[in-house]
Amino acid sequence: MTDVLSNPDTLTIAMKEHIAVLENIMQQDRVMRHDRRHFETLLQTLLQEGNTQEALKCLNERLSQEPHGVKKYCENTTLNAAITHYVAVAEEKSIKVNISATIPADLNVDEMQLAIVISNLIENAIHACEKVPENERRIDINARYKSQLLIEISNSCADKIVLDAEGHPFSNEENHGIGTRSVLNFINQTDSEIRYIAEEKTFKVRMLVS
């Protein structure tokens, strides 16, 4: 594991993959919001001109074209993109995900870096859930903001996760630890705090973002 963690190229590749995913989702969101503004302008014009039937027709056509199941988990666009993507990945693997997040639109930290951290944490939770029976797979995501952002991610796991002397997850599996290294880099750079809690059948991570 030491070789993987000490290899900056490996870490950079992993981060670039997360960034590419997030940027793609955010671009799709920008396009949708751009199209929606044009549609709303058209609808307003039709209503002002008294063309109620034409406005209703346009509205019905628009609703039939809108993608279903698009969810807004929080006000922050970047973090919402990360959560949306990895919740979809989890659900494809028959993992039940519960989310309660009150994250404001603007934060005092680099939102892309924080989104990568959250992506890593949820991705780790997904990997752990894959090792337990489908009916026991669960991820709980809670986030609250009061001058600081408190995030807790809890997931089911097959065995009690081993923590090293510093209280960080440890494994001899190949490439394990890249995500953890990325998370710890963010914690150190932002003077934030993180705590891993290993219990029987459950693993939790709590992060206080300064």
For 127-148, the pLDDT digits (tens) are 999 999 999 999 999 999 999 9
CATH for 70-209, among 3.30.1130.10, 3.50.50.60, 3.30.565.10, 2.60.120.1130?
3.30.565.10
- Whether the pLDDT of residue 66 is over 60: the answer is no
What band does 151 get if pLDDT is binned at 50, 70 and 90?
very high
What band does 198 get if pLDDT is binned at 50, 70 and 90?
very high
By percentage, how much of the chain surpasses pLDDT 70? 70
- Mean pLDDT of the 155-172 span: 86
Residue 127 buriedness (CB in 10 A; 0-12 / 13-18 / 19+): middle
Q: What are the structural domain ranges in the chain?
A: 70-209
- Predicted TM-score (pTM) of the model is 0.70
What band does 45 get if pLDDT is binned at 50, 70 and 90?
confident
- Mean pLDDT of the 68-94 span: 85
For 97-125, the pLDDT digits (tens) are 999 999 999 999 988 889 889 988 999 99
